[in-house]
A and B are shown apart, each in its own frame.
Chain A
Amino acid sequence: MNQPNEEFQDVYDQLSALAPGSEDAPRSAAQMLASVKRAAAPRPNPIQNLIRSFNMTLSRRATAVSLLVVLLAVVLLSFPAVRAAASDFLGLFRVQKFATISVSPEQIAVLERMAEEGLTPGEFEIHAEPVEIGPAPNLSLAADAAGMPAVRTIGALGEPQEIRVMDGGSGTLTINLEGARAIVEAAGVDPLLLPDSLEGAEVNVTVYPSVQQMWADEVVMAQMPSPLVEYPGNVDTTVLGEALLRVLGTPADEARSIAQSIDWTSTLLLPIPQEAATYREVIVDGVSGVAFDSIDSSASGLLWQKDGIVYMLVGQDGIETLLGLAQSLR
């Protein structure tokens, strides 16, 4: 440490009266460092809060199971309706619509037991994890950073208080046929519905960069190009969709009927635990979307897809308020 110039020693002597004494010593550096890192950690935004409120109604194990279910949904929804002639043909799946299915607490318990038995549909390897690129000063730069031609905003709310850009991510699921069949069988479905060709099949999932805008009262809108799934194209997705619905607890005849009415090549199934949220179909931004309310009334959300972009609008003042805000999209 440099010693102060003696020319001003009288002044420094007086200033030393302000120095902290032993009783004014701060908390330990290690404690302070831990506080700094906690405070610097990204604050969960309302979208994350909503997801958390979904998960809070489930046990930790059940949460893992629900993730497994979502993963299974991705796998099963990733196969085209039309069988391809060549087994190594790669098809593309992009989310265009959403379908929801309520999962009962009893079925969650069934899924828990599956998890306890270690049943998984395969190995999922993450190649690039979505991370935050950073805050953006305006929507134009956010669009550039996210690789989107433009970013839409809620006109009624004015300038967003914060604009954040998240990087994309990607991963590959390598299917373990034995595990996938065991899951299906545990749900009371004929395991041979899953063909032998599924063994070792790879499904590549790509999530693109997204832009999140935040306003007062924790209103948040996120938008991102529709995720892309590349898959081998030799499976009857209607049959697999039916199997998935059965795994999620839908009675056999109902599952068959629903499976045949859904275009599985473009519809993302959202399994929603009954104890976490209620949902309904709504018209938003001129298209069909899904609205949901968390059971604890802490958050509501809208989810829709338009022109290749998936949108999510979340707030605390209920679905009707969000639908009103969505009318001012520009």
Chain B
Amino acid sequence: MFSRVRNAKLSHGNDESVTILTDSLLLQRAAAGDETAFDTLFYRHYDRVYGLLYRLVGSRAEAEDLTQEVFVKLYKQFMRKRPFSSNPPPHKHNISGWLYRVATNLGYNAIRGRTRRWQRDTVLVPDPQGTPGAEHEVEGRERAAAVRAALSQMPQRDVQLLLLRQTGLSYAECAAACEVAPGSVGTLLRRAAENFREAYQTISGEQPPAADR
């Protein structure tokens, strides 16, 4: 349940060990009504959930709204007594998997709700004239639009895996979020990366700079 971590910064130079509660234990405490445990879970995952949703929807306001929705679902799911729920008890949940799965689904629902948004983004580039540094910004926007357009042509699970992994999730967390076997994540990622390269090349006419391809 506990991870014993030595952390020089946290201990202010003293050789103290700092106890970090696992997500699982925090969730159990939250389910028992411990608001502080819920707060800790929230602070732990807020940035990454927002980052994932921003990557998906490309809008700060929308990503914020969806992030709020994710955590509201978390709160309602686990912070209230649910005697009729067939869900497994909280400690059986991989909470990061649950969070990023819900976030991805909400993000995709939002995208479906505004059909062809990604395609529209590829042409709705602001007029750069007269804006300092605009050339660089436009280039960045065009690149982002091309990446989104490529992703829009890929299966949801491939996109989900790539974005989760790029956001920094472990293979185990990616597996939980995508509901696949942990051992298959490497293979699925490889396939998703290939799909992305092909889609991106088709859309932009250029290949991503290969690293170790």
Contact = CB atoms under 8 A, between A and B. Distances in A.
Interface in A110-162: 132-137, 141, 145
B51 to A, nearest CB: 6
Interface string B18-56: 000000000000000000000100110011001100110
A19 B211 contact: no
Given A7-B190, A19-B51, A32-B68, A13 B84 contact: no
B54 A10 contact: no
Interface stretch (A22-30, A210-218, A265-273, A290-298): A22-30
Given A11-B208, A136-B84, A20 B54 contact: yes
B208 A10 contact: yes
Contacts of B117: none
B54 A134 contact: no
A125 B55 CA distance: 53
Nearest to A142: B84
Given A19-B51, A36-B71, A40-B72, A4 B84 contact: no
Interface residues of B, number: 52
B142 to A, nearest CB: 9
B157 interface: no
The SS class assigned to the A binding surface is: helix
A40 B208 contact: no
Contact of B60 (A16, A18, A24): A24
B60 A134 contact: no
A134 B84 contact: yes
A40 B68 CA distance: 10
Given A14-B147, A29-B43, A145-B83, A9 B58 contact: no
B68 A18 contact: no
B193 interface: yes
A17 interface: yes
Interface string B79-116: 11111110000000000000000000000000000000
B210 to A, nearest CB: 5
Contact of B84 (A9, A14, A135): A135
Nearest to A21: B140
Give the interface size class of chain A.
35 or more
Contacts of B55: 15, 18-20
A330 B148 CA distance: 54
A26 B67 contact: yes
A4 B163 CA distance: 10
A6 interface: yes
A263 B179 CA distance: 64
Contact of B54 (A18, A32, A133): A18
Nearest to B73: A40
Contacts of B71: 32-33, 36
A321 interface: no
A134 B81 contact: yes
Interface in B166-213: 166, 168-171, 186, 189-190, 193, 196-197, 200, 208-213
Contact of A40 (B43, B75, B163): B75
A26 to B, nearest CB: 5
Nearest to B209: A10
Nearest to B186: A5
B39 A12 contact: no
Nearest to B172: A2
A39 interface: yes
B39 A145 contact: no
B141 to A, nearest CB: 9
Nearest to A3: B168
Contacts of B166: 4, 11-12, 15-16
Nearest to A163: B84
14 contacts: A2-B170, A4-B168, A5-B186, A8-B190, A12-B165, A18-B58, A26-B60, A29-B42, A36-B72, A36-B75, A37-B75, A137-B84, A141-B84, A165-B83
Given A5-B189, A18-B163, 20 more contacts: A7-B212, A9-B211, A9-B212, A12-B162, A15-B147, A15-B166, A16-B166, A17-B140, A18-B55, A18-B144, A29-B42, A29-B46, A32-B46, A32-B67, A33-B46, A35-B68, A36-B71, A40-B75, A40-B76, A133-B83
A-B interface, 4 closest residue pairs, ranked by CB to CB distance from nearest? A9-B211, A1-B168, A40-B75, A18-B55
